[in-house]
Each structure stands twice: as structure tokens, then as C-alpha cells.
Amino acid sequence: MDKRKLLVVDDEPQVRRLVSEAFAAQYEVLTAGTGEEAIRRAVLDRPNCILMDVMMPQMGGFILCEIFKSMRQTKLIPIILMSGKPRQMVWPMAQEMGILDYIEKPFSIEGMSNLLKRALQKSPVERRRAPRVTMKIPIIVRGTDESGSAFEVCGETGDVSRLGALVRLPVRVPVGGLIEIRQAGIPSSDRPTLLTEAQVAWNDPITPSGPFLHGCEFSPASSEWIIIQ
């Protein structure tokens, strides 16, 4: 009987080596040190589960999750995220994105083993808490960036639910920062309509110099504002 495949994505070689050695007897362990390599291996090798670090250079874990969830070949593969960040900082938005689970570093092999067993017992279904719309929506965002400077910029979102949204901006907003999201692209309006306020749960550079992807939780949960004409 063929072993199930586990894809480990982490830019730290020691983490890839640790997981590979710990689970070589149970799984066929595949590894990737970059986002580009992870996408290639996921599409070609079709792993049964992906274990992925959140914080990686060039292409972080959240961006990779969105890519995997958008691709026909990979959207049903269960994903477990890992990082040194506290669970409460990462899990709400990770769960909203359809991530199966999250484990903090440093982790125990026993704890990781239990997560992997649970992941591989799951039926291949999409894991979403709320319906989402993936169309690109132009928006105007106001807030304060990481340097403390106020900004008002154009951005867009490509993944929206009642609970939150992924927002791409040319500036980086710190975790915990509050932003106003206003409707863009209405020539007849003198002042863009306020759609909602949101708090940034995480941020990740799409490239080292930006733009930046932000996972935002609406405060409070928003109505279906994406339908506004």
C-alpha cells in the first residue's frame, strides 16, 4: 500500500529536516523551501496534506493558502499552518480561509502526529465558515500604516464574506490596526460610501516591496455590502 503524501513548506531547512525524519516511516514526505517550489510540488505530486509555515520571505503562508484554495488541483487538500505566533493571532482568519488547523512553534512530534492523523481522516470538502465571493472589488481604504502615517489609498479585495475579507493595498497596515473600507468607482458620488470598518488580523507582502495582502475581520460582521450598486 502506497504511503500518503505530506508536503512540508518552510524556509527553515532544520524544520523540513525535523518533520521529514520524524514522519518518514508513516508518510512520503515532500519538502519545499519557497512558495514557488510549494506550488509546483503541490500541483505535480498532489499531496494528501500540506503543513506550511506562515512567515516566509517573498511568498508567505497566507498568500499560498489563497493560491491553493483557488486552484482546481489543490483546493481540497487539507492545510495545517504553523508559526511562532500565538494561536489567537492567526487562527480566526486561518479558519475563515478554510485552513484545517494551526500549531505553534516549537511543536511536539506527538502533537503534530495527532494533527496529521486528523487531517488525513477528513473527507475532501471545502472548509469555509461563511460563503465567500472571489470577484475583485475596487475599494478606497483609510487608516494608519506601520510607520504611523495616515493614508487614503485605492485597493481591491478578491475574497469577501460576511465576516471578513482579503484586502490588497500598496501600504502595510500593522496587525490590530483599524481601517475604513469605502466603495470606489462610483462617478456620481462626491464622497465614497463607507462600507464597513475592519481590523487587520495579519499582513503578508505579495512581493518584498509590496503590494501587501491583509486579512481583515469586519467589525462588526458586515451585511452583504458587495452587492451595493
Question: Which of residues 164 and 226 earns the better pLDDT score?
Answer: 164
Residue 132 belongs to some domain of the structure: no
pLDDT digits (tens, 9 = 90+) for 93-151: 788 788 889 999 989 999 899 989 888 886 554 445 455 555 577 889 999 999 999 99
Q: What would the grid cell of residue 25 be?
A: 516511516
Q: Domain boundary residue among 66, 90, 121?
A: 121
Phi-psi label, residue 46: left if phi above 0, alpha if psi -120 to 50, beta otherwise: left
List CB contacts of 224: < 8 A, sequence separation 6 or more.
Answer: 162
Same-domain pairing of 97 and 161: no
CA separation for the pair 66, 178 (Å, rounded): 23
Phi-psi label, residue 147: left if phi above 0, alpha if psi -120 to 50, beta otherwise: alpha
What band does 30 get if pLDDT is binned at 50, 70 and 90? very high
CA separation for the pair 221, 199 (Å, rounded): 11
pLDDT digits (tens, 9 = 90+) for 62-96: 888 888 887 878 888 999 999 888 888 888 778 87
8-state DSSP, 188:
T
Same-domain pairing of 148 and 216: yes
Same-domain pairing of 171 and 113: no
Same-domain pairing of 184 and 116: no
Residue 179 belongs to some domain of the structure: yes
* Cis previous bond, 187, omega within 30: no
CA separation for the pair 180, 173 (Å, rounded): 12
Q: Could you tell me the residue range of the domain that residue 87 belongs to?
A: 4-121
CA separation for the pair 25, 5 (Å, rounded): 12
Same-domain pairing of 10 and 103: yes
Q: What would the grid cell of residue 165 be?
A: 475579507
Residue 142 belongs to some domain of the structure: yes
pLDDT digits (tens, 9 = 90+) for 171-194: 999 888 899 988 876 544 556 677
Q: Domain boundary residue among 76, 97, 121?
A: 121
Residue 130 belongs to some domain of the structure: no
Cβ pair 48, 77 in contact under 8 A:
yes
Report the pLDDT value the prediction gives residue 131, as an integer from 0 to 100: 54
Q: Domain boundary residue among 95, 121, 147?
A: 121
Residue 62 belongs to some domain of the structure: yes
Question: Which of residues 190 and 34 earns the better pLDDT score?
Answer: 34
Same-domain pairing of 110 and 146: no
pLDDT digits (tens, 9 = 90+) for 213-222: 888 888 765 5
* CATH number for position 61: 3.40.50.2300
- How far apart are the two ends of the chain, measured CA to CA in Å? 56
